[in-house]
Amino acid sequence: MFKYYLLKSIRETQFWFWSLVFPLALMTCFQVAFGNIYEMENSISQINVAIIVDQESMYSENFEMTIDSLSENDKGEPFLVKQDVANIEEAHELLLDEKSDLDAVFVVDGENMEILLKKDGRTTVTMVTKTIANAYQSNYSIIMDAYSTDPSSVPAIIESISEDIEYTTYNDGIYTRSPDNYEWYYISTIIMALLFNVTLGIGVVSDTRADISVGAMRVSVSPARKLKLILSAFFSRVICVWILSGIHLLVLNFVFKISLGKNWILVVLFVMLADVFALAIGQIFGLFMKGSLSQRENKATGIVMVSVFLSGEMVSNLPGIIEAKFPILNAINPATILNMGMYRLIYFDQPYDFFINAGKILVVSLLCLVISVIMLRREKYASL
């Protein structure tokens, strides 16, 4: 019977479309839309800047001191490198020259400042240079007050301003690698794909309840033990979903170049447990929902789509909003629980989380499986 149910599952084309083809197509769209946008926006390579002073003033003098302070880094290579540019004409030429490494020019005239940026330059350059200019402008009055009261304190104030202008970098002790916000969508899609496996769980019920399908009607009058039929139907589908999830993870890692982190073995085990969880939940859906097999599958798919949406598949910060307003929803939403569990395994070096989440998933899965077996074994029919 195991071989029969395995072949039957392989022939279910609708399942393979929604659980394999559709998620891969969705991740391909993400790749086209996002590409390397995270690296482009968050590149931390050095920024080469220059200062052109049209009119000397205390404002320009202190700004140059600020840039000099940012260009000096005793902890390693500075992220800001100051270059010498003679005049505004040369600055324009260098910014237009693709071979030039000059990224931005601060043009200071009295107490006014303008920023010239390289054509088609990095987004990070725009963000950092504007941050520097705004930070200096907002603190300039403090510097002038210090000049009038205690001139010796000015260098310390400028140093303090420089320290406030920082790049946001990841903490090696917390993350296994730099977190990419766009990768959340890929992870969420993997979770969506494995939750679509609830339809196979409903199929287990359909294959063993004679009032739902003709195939189950024939099987129910066979001499085979009911428990053996139920477990064969269930574990044959477990093999299918594990193969499917393996394909997803291989494509994610080798095609879309999204690393599973140094805890990748735990990630694989987590996904395997989540697959079993989806099948077990699917059996509960199949038992308590009404209608034909296709109607039950459509209802379950609708529930999965709502769960996945609330977990942040379309709006990545939605779980955070829900956590602030209605945290109980995150605590009971399967997609959110699985999303956060997989995300933490990939990015955080805290394997202890795996055992906590795996334990919860395993307990719920076993509970659903036991309920399903008990109810399916007790099914009796007056006539067929």
- For residue 133, the tally of other CB atoms under 10 A from its CB is 17
Could you tell me what percent of the chain has a pLDDT over 70? 82
User: What is 346-363 written as a DSSP string?
Assistant: HHB--THHHHHHHHHHHH
pLDDT, residue 295, reads 92
Average pLDDT over residues 274-299: 93
Cβ-contact 182, 38 below 8 angstroms: yes
Contacts of 229 (CB under 8 A, 6+ apart): 1, 207, 208, 219
Q: Whose CA is closest to 341, among 132, 180, 187, 150?
A: 187
What single DSSP character describes residue 175?
Answer: B
Contacts of 207 (CB under 8 A, 6+ apart): 5, 8, 213, 215, 216, 219, 229, 233
Average pLDDT over residues 259-280: 94
pLDDT in tens, 73-131: 545 566 788 888 888 899 888 888 888 889 899 999 888 889 998 877 666 788 788 88
For residue 172, name the pLDDT band (cuts at 50, 70, 90).
very low
The three-class DSSP label of residue 79 is coil
**What global pTM score does this model have?**
0.67
Q: In the structure encoding, which two tokens stand for residue 24, read together?
A: 């891969």
pLDDT, residue 370, reads 94
Alpha-carbon distances of 353 from 70, 246, 291, rounded to whole Å: 40, 22, 39
- Rounded to whole angstroms, how far apart are CA atoms 80 and 82? 7
Is 337 a residue whose pLDDT tops 90?
yes
The three-class DSSP label of residue 81 is strand
Contacts of 82 (CB under 8 A, 6+ apart): 49, 50, 51, 67, 68, 71
- Rounded to whole angstroms, how far apart are CA atoms 105 and 107? 6
Q: Which residue has the higher pLDDT, 356 or 40?
A: 356
pLDDT, residue 179, reads 60
pLDDT, residue 31, reads 83
Cβ-contact 53, 105 below 8 angstroms: no
pLDDT in tens, 297-332: 999 999 999 999 999 888 888 888 898 889 899 999
Cβ-contact 230, 216 below 8 angstroms: no
35, amino acid identity: G
Exposure string over 134-169, b if 16+ CB within 10 A, otherwise e: eebeebbeebeebeeeeeeebeebbeebbeebeeee
- Rounded to whole angstroms, how far apart are CA atoms 13 and 9? 9
User: What is 189-238 written as a DSSP string?
Assistant: HHHHHHHTTHHHHHHHHHHH-TTT-HHHHHHHTSSS-HHHHHHHHHHHHH
For residue 196, name the pLDDT band (cuts at 50, 70, 90).
very high
Q: In the structure encoding, which two tokens stand for residue 77, read together?
A: 């290579």
